[in-house]
Structure 1
Protein backbone atom coordinates (compact mmCIF):
# COMPACT_ATOMS: atom_id res chain seq x y z
CA UNK A 1 0.00 0.00 0.00
CA UNK A 2 2.85 2.39 0.80
CA UNK A 3 4.34 1.91 -2.68
CA UNK A 4 0.96 2.70 -4.24
CA UNK A 5 0.73 5.90 -2.21
CA UNK A 6 4.18 7.01 -3.38
CA UNK A 7 3.31 6.32 -7.01
CA UNK A 8 0.07 8.29 -6.63
CA UNK A 9 1.92 11.21 -5.03
CA UNK A 10 4.51 11.49 -7.79
CA UNK A 11 1.84 11.15 -10.48
CA UNK A 12 -0.02 14.02 -8.85
CA UNK A 13 3.08 16.18 -8.94
CA UNK A 14 3.70 15.36 -12.59
CA UNK A 15 0.26 16.76 -13.47
CA UNK A 16 0.69 20.16 -11.86
CA UNK A 17 3.69 21.58 -13.74
CA UNK A 18 3.99 22.26 -17.45
CA UNK A 19 6.89 20.95 -19.49
CA UNK A 20 7.88 24.49 -20.51
CA UNK A 21 8.48 25.72 -16.95
CA UNK A 22 11.90 25.90 -15.33
CA UNK A 23 11.90 23.35 -12.55
CA UNK A 24 13.88 23.39 -9.29
CA UNK A 25 14.07 20.22 -7.23
CA UNK A 26 14.37 20.61 -3.45
CA UNK A 27 15.39 17.53 -1.45
CA UNK A 28 15.29 18.26 2.28
CA UNK A 29 15.62 16.70 5.71
CA UNK A 30 14.75 17.95 9.18
CA UNK A 31 13.07 17.50 12.54
CA UNK A 32 9.40 17.68 13.45
CA UNK A 33 7.90 18.79 16.76
CA UNK A 34 4.37 17.46 16.88
CA UNK A 35 1.42 17.43 19.22
CA UNK A 36 -2.30 16.86 18.98
CA UNK A 37 -4.86 19.27 20.34
CA UNK A 38 -6.66 17.12 22.91
CA UNK A 39 -9.68 18.45 24.79
CA UNK A 40 -9.65 18.29 28.60
CA UNK A 41 -6.06 17.09 28.87
CA UNK A 42 -4.06 18.56 31.73
CA UNK A 43 -0.57 18.45 30.26
CA UNK A 44 0.32 18.00 26.59
CA UNK A 45 3.87 18.15 25.22
CA UNK A 46 5.51 18.06 21.80
CA UNK A 47 7.10 14.87 20.49
CA UNK A 48 10.28 15.09 18.41
CA UNK A 49 10.25 13.20 15.11
CA UNK A 50 11.88 12.94 11.69
CA UNK A 51 10.90 14.73 8.49
CA UNK A 52 12.19 14.44 4.92
CA UNK A 53 10.87 15.02 1.44
CA UNK A 54 11.15 16.36 -2.06
CA UNK A 55 9.70 19.63 -3.34
CA UNK A 56 9.36 20.98 -6.88
CA UNK A 57 9.49 24.76 -7.30
CA UNK A 58 7.62 25.99 -10.39
CA UNK A 59 8.14 29.69 -11.13
CA UNK A 60 5.26 31.62 -12.65
CA UNK A 61 6.31 32.89 -16.11
CA UNK A 62 6.95 36.66 -16.31
CA UNK A 63 6.83 36.95 -12.51
CA UNK A 64 9.94 35.50 -10.82
CA UNK A 65 8.84 36.53 -7.30
CA UNK A 66 5.91 34.12 -7.21
CA UNK A 67 6.08 30.35 -7.60
CA UNK A 68 4.12 27.18 -6.89
CA UNK A 69 5.70 24.41 -4.81
CA UNK A 70 4.09 20.96 -4.47
CA UNK A 71 5.90 18.48 -2.26
CA UNK A 72 5.93 14.83 -1.21
CA UNK A 73 7.03 14.48 2.43
CA UNK A 74 7.47 11.82 5.06
CA UNK A 75 6.79 13.29 8.49
CA UNK A 76 6.33 12.01 12.01
CA UNK A 77 3.58 13.57 14.13
CA UNK A 78 2.52 12.75 17.63
CA UNK A 79 1.86 13.88 21.16
CA UNK A 80 2.88 13.23 24.75
CA UNK A 81 0.15 13.91 27.27
CA UNK A 82 -0.87 13.25 30.86
CA UNK A 83 -4.32 13.12 32.41
CA UNK A 84 -5.36 12.43 35.99
CA UNK A 85 -8.66 10.73 36.72
CA UNK A 86 -10.30 8.51 39.34
CA UNK A 87 -11.62 5.43 37.51
CA UNK A 88 -14.29 3.08 38.76
CA UNK A 89 -14.17 -0.71 39.22
CA UNK A 90 -10.60 -0.76 40.50
CA UNK A 91 -9.21 -1.71 43.91
CA UNK A 92 -6.91 1.34 43.85
CA UNK A 93 -8.89 4.08 45.60
CA UNK A 94 -6.62 6.86 44.38
CA UNK A 95 -6.52 9.26 41.45
CA UNK A 96 -4.61 7.60 38.62
CA UNK A 97 -2.48 9.34 36.05
CA UNK A 98 -2.52 8.15 32.45
CA UNK A 99 0.59 9.12 30.49
CA UNK A 100 0.76 8.36 26.78
CA UNK A 101 3.33 9.04 24.05
CA UNK A 102 2.17 8.46 20.47
CA UNK A 103 4.16 8.88 17.25
CA UNK A 104 2.50 8.48 13.84
CA UNK A 105 4.18 8.32 10.42
CA UNK A 106 2.52 10.28 7.60
CA UNK A 107 2.93 10.56 3.86
CA UNK A 108 2.01 14.19 3.23
CA UNK A 109 1.47 16.32 0.11
CA UNK A 110 1.50 20.11 0.62
CA UNK A 111 0.53 22.42 -2.29
CA UNK A 112 2.17 25.75 -1.50
CA UNK A 113 2.18 29.26 -2.95
CA UNK A 114 5.62 30.84 -2.51
CA UNK A 115 6.97 34.39 -2.54
CA UNK A 116 10.76 34.82 -2.87
CA UNK A 117 12.50 38.14 -2.20
CA UNK A 118 16.06 39.39 -2.08
CA UNK A 119 18.88 40.03 -4.52
CA UNK A 120 22.21 38.39 -5.16
CA UNK A 121 23.29 35.26 -3.33
CA UNK A 122 20.94 35.70 -0.34
CA UNK A 123 17.18 35.13 -0.64
CA UNK A 124 14.31 34.87 1.80
CA UNK A 125 10.88 33.48 1.16
CA UNK A 126 7.40 32.87 2.56
CA UNK A 127 4.94 30.11 1.72
CA UNK A 128 1.42 28.98 2.55
CA UNK A 129 -1.12 26.49 1.30
CA UNK A 130 -3.19 23.39 1.95
CA UNK A 131 -1.89 19.91 2.62
CA UNK A 132 -3.23 16.39 2.80
CA UNK A 133 -1.59 13.49 4.60
CA UNK A 134 -2.34 9.86 5.23
CA UNK A 135 -1.21 7.98 8.33
CA UNK A 136 0.88 4.90 7.58
CA UNK A 137 1.22 3.60 11.14
CA UNK A 138 3.24 4.38 14.24
CA UNK A 139 3.99 3.39 17.80
CA UNK A 140 2.84 4.24 21.31
CA UNK A 141 3.84 3.88 24.93
CA UNK A 142 1.49 4.39 27.88
CA UNK A 143 1.71 4.19 31.65
CA UNK A 144 -0.85 4.05 34.43
CA UNK A 145 0.52 5.32 37.75
CA UNK A 146 -0.71 6.29 41.19
CA UNK A 147 1.06 8.55 43.64
CA UNK A 148 3.75 6.01 44.50
CA UNK A 149 4.35 3.58 41.66
CA UNK A 150 3.72 2.49 38.09
CA UNK A 151 0.80 0.07 38.00
CA UNK A 152 0.67 -0.81 34.32
CA UNK A 153 2.99 -0.06 31.39
CA UNK A 154 2.22 -0.87 27.77
CA UNK A 155 3.89 -0.22 24.43
CA UNK A 156 3.44 -1.39 20.88
CA UNK A 157 2.72 -0.41 17.30
CA UNK A 158 -0.23 1.62 16.04
CA UNK A 159 -1.89 -0.16 13.13
CA UNK A 160 -4.66 1.15 10.88
CA UNK A 161 -6.40 -2.15 10.33
CA UNK A 162 -8.91 -4.41 12.01
CA UNK A 163 -7.79 -6.17 15.17
CA UNK A 164 -7.30 -9.90 14.50
CA UNK A 165 -9.57 -12.30 16.31
CA UNK A 166 -8.18 -13.57 19.62
CA UNK A 167 -5.26 -11.08 19.51
CA UNK A 168 -3.52 -10.86 22.90
CA UNK A 169 -0.62 -8.49 22.20
CA UNK A 170 -0.28 -4.79 23.03
CA UNK A 171 -0.49 -3.25 19.55
CA UNK A 172 -3.19 -0.59 19.11
CA UNK A 173 -5.60 -1.05 16.19
CA UNK A 174 -7.14 2.20 14.89
CA UNK A 175 -9.93 0.76 12.78
CA UNK A 176 -12.50 1.78 11.67
CA UNK A 177 -15.10 3.70 13.71
CA UNK A 178 -13.99 6.97 15.28
CA UNK A 179 -10.57 7.08 13.61
CA UNK A 180 -9.46 9.09 10.60
CA UNK A 181 -6.25 8.34 8.69
CA UNK A 182 -6.49 11.48 6.54
CA UNK A 183 -5.01 14.69 7.95
CA UNK A 184 -6.20 17.65 5.88
CA UNK A 185 -4.71 20.95 6.99
CA UNK A 186 -2.92 24.17 6.19
CA UNK A 187 0.77 25.07 6.33
CA UNK A 188 2.68 28.34 6.58
CA UNK A 189 6.42 28.79 6.58
CA UNK A 190 9.42 30.99 6.00
CA UNK A 191 13.04 30.42 5.12
CA UNK A 192 16.30 31.80 3.82
CA UNK A 193 18.42 30.67 0.91
CA UNK A 194 22.13 31.09 0.21
CA UNK A 195 23.74 30.42 -3.15
CA UNK A 196 26.18 27.54 -2.72
CA UNK A 197 27.77 26.12 -5.85
CA UNK A 198 25.25 25.63 -8.64
CA UNK A 199 22.32 25.48 -6.24
CA UNK A 200 20.93 27.17 -3.16
CA UNK A 201 21.16 25.96 0.43
CA UNK A 202 17.84 26.46 2.24
CA UNK A 203 17.02 26.72 5.95
CA UNK A 204 13.30 26.66 6.69
CA UNK A 205 10.77 26.72 9.53
CA UNK A 206 7.17 25.65 8.97
CA UNK A 207 3.97 25.27 10.98
CA UNK A 208 1.19 22.84 10.05
CA UNK A 209 -2.30 22.86 11.52
CA UNK A 210 -4.62 19.92 10.99
CA UNK A 211 -8.27 20.64 10.30
CA UNK A 212 -9.53 17.06 10.52
CA UNK A 213 -9.49 14.90 13.62
CA UNK A 214 -7.45 11.76 14.21
CA UNK A 215 -10.15 10.48 16.54
CA UNK A 216 -13.28 11.84 18.20
CA UNK A 217 -12.95 10.00 21.51
CA UNK A 218 -9.93 8.76 23.36
CA UNK A 219 -10.78 5.32 24.72
CA UNK A 220 -8.41 3.36 26.91
CA UNK A 221 -9.46 0.05 28.42
CA UNK A 222 -6.99 -1.80 30.61
CA UNK A 223 -7.57 -5.09 32.41
CA UNK A 224 -4.51 -6.65 34.01
CA UNK A 225 -3.46 -8.39 37.21
CA UNK A 226 -1.14 -6.47 39.52
CA UNK A 227 0.90 -8.37 42.17
CA UNK A 228 -0.14 -5.97 44.95
CA UNK A 229 -3.60 -4.78 43.92
CA UNK A 230 -5.00 -7.82 42.16
CA UNK A 231 -7.04 -7.38 39.00
CA UNK A 232 -7.16 -3.78 37.78
CA UNK A 233 -9.94 -2.71 35.42
CA UNK A 234 -9.66 0.81 34.06
CA UNK A 235 -11.71 2.42 31.32
CA UNK A 236 -11.26 6.02 30.17
CA UNK A 237 -13.67 7.32 27.54
CA UNK A 238 -13.31 11.06 27.09
CA UNK A 239 -14.04 13.52 24.24
CA UNK A 240 -10.76 14.04 22.42
CA UNK A 241 -11.27 15.61 18.98
CA UNK A 242 -7.53 15.19 18.35
CA UNK A 243 -6.12 17.49 15.65
CA UNK A 244 -2.46 17.77 14.71
CA UNK A 245 -0.19 20.74 15.38
CA UNK A 246 3.31 20.38 13.93
CA UNK A 247 6.44 22.53 13.67
CA UNK A 248 9.18 21.47 11.25
CA UNK A 249 12.68 22.83 10.84
CA UNK A 250 14.64 21.58 7.85
CA UNK A 251 17.64 22.01 5.60
CA UNK A 252 17.33 21.61 1.85
CA UNK A 253 19.22 22.19 -1.36
CA UNK A 254 17.49 23.67 -4.39
CA UNK A 255 18.79 22.41 -7.73
CA UNK A 256 17.56 24.35 -10.77
CA UNK A 257 17.54 23.07 -14.35
CA UNK A 258 15.68 23.69 -17.60
CA UNK A 259 14.40 26.92 -19.11
CA UNK A 260 11.15 28.86 -19.27
CA UNK A 261 9.88 29.11 -22.85
Structure 2
Protein backbone atom coordinates (compact mmCIF):
# COMPACT_ATOMS: atom_id res chain seq x y z
CA UNK A 1 0.00 0.00 0.00
CA UNK A 2 2.80 2.37 0.90
CA UNK A 3 4.52 1.65 -2.44
CA UNK A 4 1.31 2.45 -4.31
CA UNK A 5 1.03 5.77 -2.51
CA UNK A 6 4.63 6.58 -3.42
CA UNK A 7 4.02 5.65 -7.06
CA UNK A 8 0.84 7.75 -7.21
CA UNK A 9 2.63 10.69 -5.59
CA UNK A 10 5.43 10.41 -8.14
CA UNK A 11 2.90 10.33 -11.00
CA UNK A 12 1.04 13.38 -9.71
CA UNK A 13 4.32 15.20 -9.16
CA UNK A 14 5.43 14.54 -12.72
CA UNK A 15 2.04 15.59 -14.07
CA UNK A 16 2.10 18.80 -12.07
CA UNK A 17 5.58 19.52 -13.41
CA UNK A 18 4.38 19.09 -16.99
CA UNK A 19 1.30 21.24 -16.37
CA UNK A 20 3.31 23.98 -14.68
CA UNK A 21 5.97 23.96 -17.39
CA UNK A 22 5.88 27.24 -19.30
CA UNK A 23 5.78 27.40 -23.09
CA UNK A 24 6.74 30.54 -25.02
CA UNK A 25 6.70 31.44 -28.69
CA UNK A 26 7.74 34.62 -30.45
CA UNK A 27 10.00 36.28 -32.99
CA UNK A 28 13.67 37.25 -33.12
CA UNK A 29 15.42 39.72 -35.45
CA UNK A 30 19.02 40.81 -35.62
CA UNK A 31 22.25 41.10 -37.53
CA UNK A 32 25.33 38.96 -37.89
CA UNK A 33 28.93 38.93 -39.09
CA UNK A 34 30.01 35.78 -40.92
CA UNK A 35 33.22 34.39 -42.34
CA UNK A 36 34.79 31.09 -43.34
CA UNK A 37 37.88 29.22 -42.22
CA UNK A 38 40.28 28.70 -45.12
CA UNK A 39 43.10 26.19 -45.66
CA UNK A 40 46.63 27.58 -45.82
CA UNK A 41 46.97 27.19 -49.60
CA UNK A 42 43.90 29.37 -50.26
CA UNK A 43 44.80 31.80 -47.50
CA UNK A 44 48.08 32.53 -49.30
CA UNK A 45 46.25 33.36 -52.54
CA UNK A 46 43.42 35.37 -50.96
CA UNK A 47 44.79 36.72 -47.65
CA UNK A 48 42.24 39.50 -47.14
CA UNK A 49 39.19 37.45 -46.23
CA UNK A 50 36.84 39.53 -44.09
CA UNK A 51 33.59 39.18 -42.19
CA UNK A 52 30.45 39.77 -44.24
CA UNK A 53 27.46 41.48 -42.57
CA UNK A 54 24.03 39.92 -42.88
CA UNK A 55 20.58 39.81 -41.34
CA UNK A 56 18.68 37.12 -39.48
CA UNK A 57 15.06 36.77 -38.44
CA UNK A 58 12.81 33.95 -37.43
CA UNK A 59 10.42 32.22 -35.08
CA UNK A 60 11.58 31.07 -31.65
CA UNK A 61 9.97 28.74 -29.11
CA UNK A 62 10.96 27.90 -25.55
CA UNK A 63 9.78 25.04 -23.38
CA UNK A 64 10.49 25.50 -19.69
CA UNK A 65 11.57 22.38 -17.82
CA UNK A 66 12.13 24.18 -14.51
CA UNK A 67 12.74 27.69 -13.21
CA UNK A 68 16.28 27.60 -14.56
CA UNK A 69 16.35 25.05 -17.39
CA UNK A 70 14.53 25.16 -20.73
CA UNK A 71 14.83 24.07 -24.35
CA UNK A 72 14.94 26.62 -27.19
CA UNK A 73 14.11 25.67 -30.77
CA UNK A 74 13.97 28.07 -33.71
CA UNK A 75 13.44 28.38 -37.45
CA UNK A 76 15.50 31.30 -38.77
CA UNK A 77 16.34 32.95 -42.06
CA UNK A 78 20.01 33.92 -42.01
CA UNK A 79 22.54 35.35 -44.45
CA UNK A 80 26.05 33.89 -44.30
CA UNK A 81 29.18 34.18 -46.39
CA UNK A 82 32.48 36.01 -46.61
CA UNK A 83 34.17 38.97 -48.27
CA UNK A 84 37.48 39.09 -50.15
CA UNK A 85 39.06 42.50 -50.63
CA UNK A 86 42.17 43.54 -52.57
CA UNK A 87 43.58 47.06 -52.79
CA UNK A 88 46.37 48.54 -54.88
CA UNK A 89 47.56 51.87 -56.27
CA UNK A 90 47.47 52.65 -60.00
CA UNK A 91 49.76 55.38 -61.32
CA UNK A 92 47.72 57.73 -63.49
CA UNK A 93 49.35 60.94 -64.75
CA UNK A 94 51.97 60.61 -62.03
CA UNK A 95 49.26 60.31 -59.40
CA UNK A 96 48.71 57.20 -57.28
CA UNK A 97 45.01 56.40 -57.63
CA UNK A 98 43.67 53.72 -55.26
CA UNK A 99 42.05 50.74 -56.95
CA UNK A 100 40.05 48.28 -54.91
CA UNK A 101 38.15 45.12 -55.74
CA UNK A 102 35.65 43.51 -53.39
CA UNK A 103 34.04 40.09 -53.83
CA UNK A 104 31.07 39.26 -51.60
CA UNK A 105 29.85 35.67 -51.41
CA UNK A 106 26.46 35.65 -49.67
CA UNK A 107 24.35 32.53 -49.10
CA UNK A 108 20.84 32.59 -47.63
CA UNK A 109 20.05 29.77 -45.20
CA UNK A 110 17.23 28.38 -43.15
CA UNK A 111 18.72 27.56 -39.73
CA UNK A 112 17.16 25.14 -37.22
CA UNK A 113 18.99 25.44 -33.87
CA UNK A 114 18.00 23.47 -30.76
CA UNK A 115 19.66 24.70 -27.58
CA UNK A 116 19.62 23.83 -23.90
CA UNK A 117 19.21 27.02 -21.85
CA UNK A 118 20.23 27.77 -18.28
CA UNK A 119 18.82 30.96 -16.72
CA UNK A 120 20.27 32.56 -13.59
CA UNK A 121 19.01 35.27 -11.29
CA UNK A 122 16.13 35.35 -8.81
CA UNK A 123 14.49 38.62 -9.81
CA UNK A 124 12.38 39.48 -12.83
CA UNK A 125 15.36 40.14 -15.09
CA UNK A 126 17.39 37.00 -15.73
CA UNK A 127 20.57 36.30 -17.61
CA UNK A 128 21.06 33.05 -19.46
CA UNK A 129 23.48 30.83 -21.32
CA UNK A 130 22.50 28.39 -24.06
CA UNK A 131 24.22 25.90 -26.35
CA UNK A 132 23.30 23.22 -28.83
CA UNK A 133 23.47 21.93 -32.41
CA UNK A 134 22.17 23.64 -35.53
CA UNK A 135 21.18 22.22 -38.93
CA UNK A 136 21.01 24.59 -41.90
CA UNK A 137 19.82 24.39 -45.50
CA UNK A 138 21.05 26.80 -48.17
CA UNK A 139 18.22 28.35 -50.19
CA UNK A 140 20.26 30.36 -52.69
CA UNK A 141 23.30 32.56 -52.97
CA UNK A 142 25.11 35.10 -55.10
CA UNK A 143 28.68 36.26 -55.74
CA UNK A 144 28.92 40.02 -56.24
CA UNK A 145 32.05 41.82 -57.44
CA UNK A 146 32.50 45.57 -56.99
CA UNK A 147 35.36 47.81 -58.05
CA UNK A 148 36.43 51.10 -56.51
CA UNK A 149 38.35 53.27 -58.96
CA UNK A 150 37.49 56.95 -58.55
CA UNK A 151 33.92 55.75 -57.88
CA UNK A 152 32.18 52.48 -56.97
CA UNK A 153 30.60 50.30 -59.65
CA UNK A 154 29.38 46.71 -59.96
CA UNK A 155 31.35 44.26 -62.08
CA UNK A 156 29.42 40.99 -61.68
CA UNK A 157 26.40 39.62 -59.85
CA UNK A 158 26.31 35.86 -60.39
CA UNK A 159 23.94 33.35 -58.75
CA UNK A 160 25.58 30.33 -57.13
CA UNK A 161 24.87 27.04 -58.87
CA UNK A 162 25.12 24.62 -55.95
CA UNK A 163 25.40 21.51 -58.14
CA UNK A 164 28.36 22.71 -60.22
CA UNK A 165 30.51 24.41 -57.58
CA UNK A 166 30.16 21.58 -55.04
CA UNK A 167 28.72 23.97 -52.48
CA UNK A 168 26.96 21.92 -49.82
CA UNK A 169 23.36 22.91 -49.17
CA UNK A 170 23.26 21.23 -45.75
CA UNK A 171 25.42 22.61 -42.96
CA UNK A 172 25.84 21.41 -39.38
CA UNK A 173 27.13 23.73 -36.67
CA UNK A 174 27.47 24.21 -32.93
CA UNK A 175 25.91 27.33 -31.39
CA UNK A 176 26.51 29.06 -28.06
CA UNK A 177 24.53 32.06 -26.81
CA UNK A 178 24.34 34.49 -23.91
CA UNK A 179 21.47 36.84 -23.24
CA UNK A 180 19.02 38.59 -20.95
CA UNK A 181 15.28 38.02 -20.43
CA UNK A 182 13.15 40.98 -19.29
CA UNK A 183 9.51 40.41 -18.25
CA UNK A 184 7.06 42.37 -20.41
CA UNK A 185 3.30 41.86 -20.33
CA UNK A 186 2.33 38.25 -20.96
CA UNK A 187 5.85 37.32 -22.00
CA UNK A 188 9.39 38.60 -22.09
CA UNK A 189 11.71 40.73 -24.19
CA UNK A 190 15.13 39.20 -24.77
CA UNK A 191 18.50 40.34 -26.06
CA UNK A 192 21.20 37.85 -27.03
CA UNK A 193 24.60 37.39 -28.62
CA UNK A 194 25.60 34.18 -30.38
CA UNK A 195 28.58 32.44 -31.92
CA UNK A 196 28.25 29.58 -34.38
CA UNK A 197 31.01 27.28 -35.63
CA UNK A 198 30.44 25.06 -38.64
CA UNK A 199 31.21 21.38 -38.15
CA UNK A 200 30.75 20.31 -41.77
CA UNK A 201 32.55 21.56 -44.89
CA UNK A 202 30.80 24.19 -47.01
CA UNK A 203 32.62 22.98 -50.13
CA UNK A 204 33.46 19.41 -51.08
CA UNK A 205 35.80 18.31 -53.86
CA UNK A 206 36.40 14.68 -54.95
CA UNK A 207 40.14 14.65 -54.13
CA UNK A 208 41.05 17.66 -51.97
CA UNK A 209 39.60 18.31 -48.52
CA UNK A 210 39.41 22.12 -48.46
CA UNK A 211 38.15 22.19 -44.87
CA UNK A 212 36.13 25.38 -45.48
CA UNK A 213 33.65 25.92 -42.65
CA UNK A 214 31.24 28.73 -41.79
CA UNK A 215 31.51 30.64 -38.55
CA UNK A 216 30.07 33.88 -37.29
CA UNK A 217 28.75 36.17 -34.58
CA UNK A 218 25.13 37.21 -34.25
CA UNK A 219 23.17 39.73 -32.21
CA UNK A 220 19.41 39.74 -31.80
CA UNK A 221 16.37 41.06 -30.00
CA UNK A 222 12.93 39.54 -29.74
CA UNK A 223 9.76 38.99 -27.82
CA UNK A 224 8.32 35.69 -26.54
CA UNK A 225 4.70 35.37 -25.47
CA UNK A 226 3.62 32.84 -22.86
CA UNK A 227 1.01 30.33 -24.01
Please indicate the TM-score interval, normalised by the length of the shorter structure: 0.7 to 0.9
Distance 2:76 2:189 in 1: 18
When residues 210 and 143 of structure 1 are mapped into structure 2, their CA distance, relative to the original with a 3 A threshold, is same
Structure 1-normalised TM-score?
0.65
Give the match for residue 137 of structure 2: 134
The answer to whether residue 119 in structure 2 is matched with residue 102 in structure 1 is: no
Per the TM alignment, residue 56 of structure 1 is displaced from its structure 2 partner at its CA by 1.2
Per the TM alignment, residue 134 of structure 1 is displaced from its structure 2 partner at its CA by 0.4
Give the match for residue 167 of structure 1: none
Give the match for residue 64 of structure 1: 67
Structure 2-normalised TM-score?
0.74
Give the match for residue 250 of structure 1: 220
Distance 2:222 2:132 in 1: 19
Distance 2:212 2:145 in 1: 17
Give the match for residue 42 of structure 1: 47
5+ residue gaps in structure 1? 1-18, 85-96, 159-172, 218-237
Distance 2:147 2:163 in 1: 24
C-alpha deviations, 1:166-204, integer Å up to 9, x for none? xxxxxxx12156321111010001001112222211110
Give the match for residue 175 of structure 2: 187
Work out whether residues 119 and 128 of structure 2, in 8 Å CA contact, stay in contact via their aligned partners in 1: yes
Per the TM alignment, residue 99 of structure 1 is displaced from its structure 2 partner at its CA by 4.2
Distance 1:58 1:130 in 2: 17
Per the TM alignment, residue 243 of structure 1 is displaced from its structure 2 partner at its CA by 0.9
Distance 1:176 1:132 in 2: 22
Per the TM alignment, residue 83 of structure 1 is displaced from its structure 2 partner at its CA by 6.7
Work out whether residues 101 and 146 of structure 2, in 8 Å CA contact, stay in contact via their aligned partners in 1: yes
Distance 1:69 1:27 in 2: 12
5+ residue gaps in structure 2? 1-17, 88-99
Q: How many residues align?
A: 190
Per the TM alignment, residue 144 of structure 1 is displaced from its structure 2 partner at its CA by 8.3
Per the TM alignment, residue 107 of structure 1 is displaced from its structure 2 partner at its CA by 0.4
When residues 239 and 81 of structure 1 are mapped into structure 2, their CA distance, relative to the original with a 3 A threshold, is farther
C-alpha deviations, 1:14-60, integer Å up to 9, x for none? xxxxx854311131111111111122230111111110111111111
When residues 210 and 83 of structure 1 are mapped into structure 2, their CA distance, relative to the original with a 3 A threshold, is farther
Larger Rg: 2
What is the aligned-residue RMSD (CA, Å)?
Answer: 3.0
Per the TM alignment, residue 251 of structure 1 is displaced from its structure 2 partner at its CA by 0.4
C-alpha deviations, 1:119-166, integer Å up to 9, x for none? 222110000000000000022213689x9xx9x9321222xxxxxxxx
Distance 1:240 1:102 in 2: 17
